[in-house]
Amino acid sequence: MAVTRAASFDRYGPVSPESPVVLSVPHGGRDYPDALLACLRVPAIALRALEDRHADSLALAARRDETLFVATRARAWIDLNRAEHERDPQIDEGAHLIGRPLSSKVRSGLGLVPRRVGTVGQLWRGRFAADDVAARIHADHRPYHLALGEALAAARARFGIAVLLDIHSMPPLGAPESAPRLVIGDRFGRSAAARFGARVEGVARRHGVAIAANTPYAGGHILERHGDPRRGVHALQLEFDRSLYLDAALDQLGAGAAPATALLRATIDALADEALPDALAAE
């Protein structure tokens, strides 16, 4: 398996994609730099709540020949699913330089550098220097999006269409017998044609997994930035209930990992089929 390692992410598969489907796992990183840990006012284990815990393992197990991007830097260091301007003035001394209104995510503490998590509250002892956050943007945020954008452009050039599947995980939304276990987001139709979401819904039903669309997760900056259906680039976000594939503590892979992997693999196949039905039919 070809692996290209960058400072903050790994790319699996060829630079020029061999499938119209490109995979991304932006919140699976577990690399916590010492400089970050030194700023914490809470135990380091509290940062795990920000992770899409082992979503990278799920994607790696499901992947065949698709190009896959996996962030290695932790979301607590920088959130790749937030725009560069979503800087939080409560913890970022450079935020005032942006001159834009604060998004709802920033106000809630989940900006480019997260400020809080769950019931733990404030994460950091003080504010980060403007140059510190700018360095993270230049070293980690921009390279990920540049590489992802180049892969999607290459897929579109080769196949005439590209489909980004951005893979995340979520805490359980309620009782398993009544709550959705999978949420697909397409920014309410702005980042992908409806036919792609319909195919994912069909796969989930066949696997006996309850699915919802765009609520409560419609997709973030990655879909907003890279999805452009009018140009033939479609982008979907997939949120797996962590209890589908993790153990009872929602910490390590559990007995459900294999069925969840099969569900993800079937989803990838369905998206590829929707993108290139004639090509797949000829195989």
Tell whether the model's pLDDT for residue 121 goes beyond 90: no
User: What's the confidence (pLDDT) of residue 107?
Assistant: 93
User: What's the confidence (pLDDT) of residue 132?
Assistant: 97
> Can you identify the CATH homologous superfamily of domain 3-80+140-282?
Zn-dependent exopeptidases (3.40.630.40)
- Whether 240 and 260 have beta carbons less than 8 Å apart is answered as yes
Residue 282, SS3 per DSSP: helix
- pLDDT level of residue 283 (50, 70, 90 thresholds): very low
Please give the share of the chain, as a percent, with pLDDT higher than 90: 88
Per-residue pLDDT tens over the stretch 97-116: 777 888 899 999 999 999 99
Q: Radius of gyration of the chain from Cα atoms?
A: 18
Structure tokens at 80: 């790749």
pTM: 0.95
Tell whether the model's pLDDT for residue 21 goes beyond 70: yes
Q: How far is CA 190 from CA 4, 71, 101, 103, 271, in A?
A: 31, 25, 22, 19, 17
Per-residue pLDDT tens over the stretch 165-186: 999 999 999 998 889 999 999 9
Across the beta sheet with 9-12, the strand order is 3-5, 9-12, 67-71, 21-25, 162-170, 233-241, 182-185, 211-213
Identify the helix (H) or strand (E) that includes residue 23.
strand 21-25
Per-residue pLDDT tens over the stretch 22-46: 999 999 999 999 999 999 999 999 9
Q: Within 10 Å of residue 176's Cβ, how many Cβ atoms?
A: 13
- Whether 84 and 226 have beta carbons less than 8 Å apart is answered as no
